Homo-oligomer: A and B are copies of this chain.
Amino acid sequence: MNKIRLGVDVGGTEIKFLVIENKKIIYQNIIETNRESVDGIVNDIVAEYKKISKDIKIDTMGVGIPGGIYGDVVTTDNLPFKNYPLQGALEKQIDIPVCIDNDANCAVLGEKHMGSGEKYENIVMVTLGTGVGGGVIIGGKICHGNGEFGEIGHMVIDVRNGRKCNCGREGCYEQYASATALVRRAAEVGKENPGSRLYEYLSNNDFKINGRTFFKIFDEGCEVCKKVFEEYIDFVVAGLKNVESIFDPDIIILAGGITRTGDTLMNAIRSRNIMRVPVEVSKLAGDAGAVGAAYLL
């Protein structure tokens, strides 16, 4: 008998719902996140569950949420959950088993069940986004530690004179390998290189640039962008090599905005030729979190 699973990925701007049967997505929907209200978010999830279950008999539900899960309670940075018993609140209104986990943990679990990690038992997922996040599966199971396992973005890689991080330390990996770090560095280096295509753009835009525009100018052949990107990749690879030394996994799966550059990222990583463990881009991309949430139970 096939289990029918509902996976919910609660993000800062939208909540994604996927129903999965037999490794196939049989329903999906996205709603806007009510960022102002915990009750609003809970009620929206319950309402969507009730709507779906009119047509589909769902067996289990999993919810991924950005933040720390400590025992029964959730505390998030970008949503209003503070020591909130989310699982209990959902179970009160929903008549099937519910499980919650951190969204990065859900994402790596999604890749294990339906993505780049399907063949593997030991998987590390590294997300190169606004920050750098990590999700780790060892022996087929998500590692939780005490709720903050796999904070790879806060591994210090530049212990002398490192860049200041929000966490209070200096030299954290995410200060070098996040999308934020890439565009910040592009703005710095661009400013020092008048005459470059990058400088021209920056000087017309208040010396600010986003990732999409950076890669547009990069693709146009700007040498300064290339230099910035090559330095960025050196940092990215240094951290991935650390992940390899620490976890010796079967595969490292990359996700996050930077992976949307297609082959640009992977070709640059492969050109360094120092990774022993396979590195691949997430197959599920934006669906990984909801797919993994569906497989929590």
Contacts and interface: CB of A to CB of B under 8 A. Distances in A.
Nearest to A68: B248
Contact of A157 (B122, B157, B247): B157
B248 A154 contact: no
Interface in A114-170: 122, 134, 138-139, 141, 143-152, 154-160, 169
B154 A143 contact: no
Contacts of A169: 241
Contact of A246 (B151, B160, B176): B151
B155 A158 contact: no
A203 B141 CA distance: 56
A141 to B, nearest CB: 7
Per DSSP, chain A at the interface is loop
A242 interface: yes
Nearest to A155: B242
Given A145-B122, A159-B158, A152 B246 contact: yes
B156 A241 contact: yes
Contacts of A146: 122, 248-250
B141 A246 contact: no
Interface string A223-259: 0000000000011001001100111111000000000
Copy number in this complex? 2
Contact of A155 (B134, B145, B149, B245): B245
Interface of A: 122, 134, 138-139, 141, 143-152, 154-160, 169, 176, 234-235, 238, 241-242, 245-250
B248 A147 contact: yes
B157 A156 contact: yes
Among A122, A154, A156, A159, residue most surrounded by chain B Cβ atoms (within 10 Å): A159
B238 A159 contact: yes
A110 B143 CA distance: 22
B122 A154 contact: no
Given A159-B158, A160-B158, A145 B242 contact: no
A224 B150 CA distance: 38
Name the 4 nearest CB pairs between A and B, nearest first. Answer: A145-B248, A151-B245, A154-B245, A148-B248
Contacts of A138: 138, 143, 145
Given A138-B138, A138-B143, A169-B241, A248 B149 contact: yes
A148 to B, nearest CB: 4
Contacts of A242: 154-156
10 contacts: A138-B143, A139-B141, A145-B248, A148-B245, A150-B248, A154-B245, A158-B158, A158-B159, A159-B176, A159-B235
